[in-house]
Structure 1
Amino acid sequence: MTTPPAPGSEPVPSEGAQEGLDAVLPGGDPGDDDAPRPRKRRWPRVLIGVGVFLVLVVLGLAGLVWQRESAYNGNIDRLHGVMPNDANRPGPSAVGTENWLLVGSDTRAKAGTTGTGGTVWKTGQQRSDTIMLLHLPADRKKAYVVSFPRDSWVDVPGYGEQKINAAFSYGGPPLLIETVEHLTGVRVDHFGAIDFNGFKSMTDALGGVTVTVKNDVYDPKRHVEWSAGKHKLDGEQALTFVRQRYNLPNGDFDRIKRQQAFLGALAKKAADGGTITNPLKLDRFLSAFTKSISVDDKVGAGKLRSLALSLRGIRASDITFMTVPNKGSASRGRQSVVLLDRKRSGALFTAIKTADMANYVRTYGGGNRVGTVS
């Protein structure tokens, strides 16, 4: 990164007008990241959890991770009551497959949003800026990460048509899970999330990660200039990188690709950076990971161990990153939204449910290219 231009030397895109509107609309972006934040508990989280689960795979940690199983497991938060009632939920997907809903949120709440024995939800004070569905086939030879644009215009049960992240604002994880299941027809087996501090500490524990930017681009919100080429990011810089939305050629769609590029870089660095051969570095990384993640209360230590063992053969090249097929941006009232391509997205959701993702990729393509991003 280089020193930014003097204030006023770069035009602020017209999309900034929408930012002010989003701050007062459910599902919007209330001030993004510049306002001072109160100290908060580790929930809600910012999702980068999918990357870490896959890092465990890439590293092939198997039994080594669990030498300190008790300590690591004790670090993980279990979220009670996040899975919706079984009534009217989709049936199980193909035998042996598994689907995780992984969510990132930037909360403005001044107190914890979960509590012992139930959920304390502050309507309108939470946003899910990152929503991903991780699909694991039965043979665990591949992994598919499907991102939902946060402005996707969908039916939110009980609220009508809304942006998909409004579901998280209105009703937290249970309503978001219900919304995703209603949209996709795919049953969500587990829920996971991670916080910003964990995101930073995991990056720093690996000694930083490297991403490649295609063209020079200025972030007018954070006053950062990204030059074309490779950038080695520490935790704070990585947050800035994945948060940028304004002044990117394709707005939030490019931010999704940046998030996915970071996950791929994190997995690659974990595999190539000597983490597994350095006990101290490995312990720092796993401690940062487990202190930051939250999962639903059905995920015990045994489940996480089994997940790591079942995925130990996957490499970074076996992970396919995708965005839900859509028709691009549109307006609904005063809101800028994203309209999903019902036919193409329907084919994707059917492929997930029926364990036919390999055929879907052959027919429609192999997902997002995130080696170099805007």
Structure 2
Amino acid sequence: MSAHRRKTRAPKSRAASSRRRRLTRTLPASGCALVVLAGATAWYLYDDLASSIGSSKALKGAEKSKYGDVNILLMGLDSRRDQNGEDLPPAVLDKLHAGASSDVGGYNTNTLILLHVPGDGSRAKAFSVPRDDFVDLHGVPGFTGKAKIKEAYGRAKAKTEEQLSAQGVKDRGRLELEGREAGRRAEIETVRTFLGLPIDHFAELNLAGFYHLADALGGVPVCLKKPAKDGFSGADFPAGRQTLDGQQSLAFVRQRHGLTMGDLDRTKRQQAFLAGATYKLNQAGTFTDPVKLMKLIGSAKQDVVTDRGWDLLSFVKQAKNLSGGDVEFVTLPIERFGRNHDAEINVVDDMKIKRFIAERIGPGATASPSAPGTAPSSPGAPSDAPGAPSAPQGSPGSSVPAPSPPRSSSGTPAIDGGGVPCVD
């Protein structure tokens, strides 16, 4: 009986052992398959993004940064048209609270932010350029002199399309494509010359981009020090930390009426939105969630144009590290408010701007001294209105407040942004 039992057990033992060996072989094989599948999925997502996102040759032949530094220019267009020059759908415009006419806003770059990412891994800095800074425009056909920095794109686009039309070009697609490329080159060259910095990459975002980005992220957290309401932009927010949907996000970044510093406070709103978006990117696990990543990529396809050849996959990885909030947002200083004919402008000192930036990122990261436009502004260029008000001290040139809880003048805890900066 005992021998019989041993004989009957032996085959079972060998069978179990064989199953374990097969399982042992299967698990690594399954793991490898999952890794390959995940890698293939990631590559598909990247390849899909790289092949579908709008790309531009506007930076071809441009000077590059040294020592591993990277400078990225974010340009936000206040246009009611899509990448192809077609009017945005009325339903979208209604949600954006931006007016029904495609001509409203034109092709002004109402958002200009230069992100400097040091090659040594130190803290990144984002410099906001106020849209009404009165500077020398570069790259605009037939134009010499000064205008608001936001106008370089639209002026170059319009003039290029005018020249092409005079040559007999009637194809709307070609006019739009070449006009926008001329606009990008002019805006980039104007900003590069004004700041004295090389620009390695750029991303252009249309008006709907803020809306779609917030929607893709499932809302963007922001914090207000006090309630805000504005009928022009549609802003209607309580004080404190809150999560904005797409429609609310656009109202938040567009509001300037009812704010003490007007456009300069709007610039801080844009900084706060980007800080909240990067915070949400990190907290929401977007980079590791295929569904969320696909939604983000879909948003990028609709609204974003970048320079051709930019390795977006590498930057996405870098952006994840930046999402921890280790980015300092700074608004460039202005000298005073003035007027040029009937337009309000920001009077700026070109050389002071360059020194301001060099002090924060180091002179080695600035453009070569031989670069055009490094000379100071010619005196008396802006037609300042007599008695034009000076910019309040401490408003421009300041950073978005740190996300740590501040304290009010009475010593009681002020509003806590919960990881995002609180702004006016």
Q: TM-score, normalised by structure 2?
A: 0.61
How far apart are residue 336 of structure 1 and its match? Answer: 0.6
What residue in structure 2 maps to residue 147 of structure 1?
A: 128
The answer to whether residue 155 in structure 2 is matched with residue 170 in structure 1 is yes
| Stretch moving more, 265-274 or 192-201 | 192-201
Q: Which has the higher contact order (CA 8 A, sep 6+)?
A: 1
C-alpha RMSD of the superposition: 3.2
What residue in structure 2 maps to residue 132 of structure 1?
A: 113
Over 3 Å counting, the alpha-carbon distance change for 1:62 and 1:176 in structure 2 is: farther
Over 3 Å counting, the alpha-carbon distance change for 1:282 and 1:340 in structure 2 is: same
Over 3 Å counting, the alpha-carbon distance change for 1:108 and 1:306 in structure 2 is: closer
Over 3 Å counting, the alpha-carbon distance change for 1:83 and 1:223 in structure 2 is: closer
> What SS is found at the alignment partner of 1:96?
coil
Rounded to whole Å, the distance in 1 between the matches of 2:337 and 2:120 is 37
Q: What's the CA shift string for 1:12-31, capped at 9, x where partnerless? A: xxxxxxxxxxxxxxxxxxxx
The answer to whether residue 329 in structure 2 is matched with residue 318 in structure 1 is no
Q: Which of 43, 47, 51 is 1:74 aligned to?
A: 51
| Stretch moving more, 138-147 or 215-224 | 215-224
Over 3 Å counting, the alpha-carbon distance change for 1:212 and 1:356 in structure 2 is: same
How far apart are residue 210 of structure 1 and its match? Answer: 1.9
Percent identity for Structure 1 against Structure 2: 31
What letter corresponds to residue 340 of structure 2 in structure 1? R
What letter corresponds to residue 308 of structure 1 in structure 2? V
Q: Which is richer in helix?
A: 2
What residue in structure 2 maps to residue 367 of structure 1?
A: 399
The answer to whether residue 222 in structure 2 is matched with residue 211 in structure 1 is yes
What residue in structure 2 maps to residue 23 of structure 1?
A: none
* Structure 2 segments unaligned to the other structure (5+ residues): 1-37, 87-102, 157-182, 367-395, 403-420
> What SS is found at the alignment partner of 1:238?
helix
What residue in structure 2 maps to residue 282 of structure 1?
A: 293
Q: What's the CA shift string for 1:86-130, capped at 9, x where partnerless? A: 5xx7x544321121221011225699359xxxxxxx9x9411111
How far apart are residue 365 of structure 1 and its match? Answer: 8.5
Rounded to whole Å, the distance in 2 between the matches of 1:241 and 1:191 is 23
Over 3 Å counting, the alpha-carbon distance change for 1:99 and 1:62 in structure 2 is: farther
* Structure 1 segments unaligned to the other structure (5+ residues): 1-60, 115-121, 358-363
The number of aligned residues is 292
What letter corresponds to residue 423 of structure 2 in structure 1? V
Q: TM-score, normalised by structure 1?
A: 0.69
CA contact (8 A) 1:62 1:309 kept: no
> What SS is found at the alignment partner of 1:369?
coil
Q: What's the CA shift string for 1:345-372, capped at 9, x where partnerless? A: 1213435473579xxxxxx997222711
Rounded to whole Å, the distance in 2 between the matches of 1:286 and 1:297 is 17
Q: What's the CA shift string for 1:164-216, capped at 9, x where partnerless? A: 01111111111111211222222222221123334322312222122111122
Rounded to whole Å, the distance in 2 between the matches of 1:166 and 1:356 is 27
Q: After TM superposition, what 4+ stretches of structure 1 lie above 4 angstroms from structure 2?
A: 61-65, 108-111
Rounded to whole Å, the distance in 1 between the matches of 2:397 and 2:81 is 40
> What SS is found at the alignment partner of 1:99?
strand
How far apart are residue 72 of structure 1 and its match? Answer: 2.2
CA contact (8 A) 2:400 2:423 kept: no
What letter corresponds to residue 132 of structure 2 in structure 1? D
| Stretch moving more, 273-282 or 137-146 | 273-282
What residue in structure 2 maps to residue 43 of structure 1?
A: none
What residue in structure 1 maps to residue 67 of structure 2?
A: 95
How far apart are residue 221 of structure 1 and its match? Answer: 1.3
| Stretch moving more, 66-75 or 321-330 | 66-75
CA contact (8 A) 1:109 1:126 kept: no
Q: 1:157-236, aligned counterparts within 5 Å?
A: 157=138, 158-171=143-156, 172-222=183-233, 224-236=235-247
Larger Rg: 2
What residue in structure 2 maps to residue 354 of structure 1?
A: 363
| Stretch moving more, 250-259 or 328-337 | 328-337
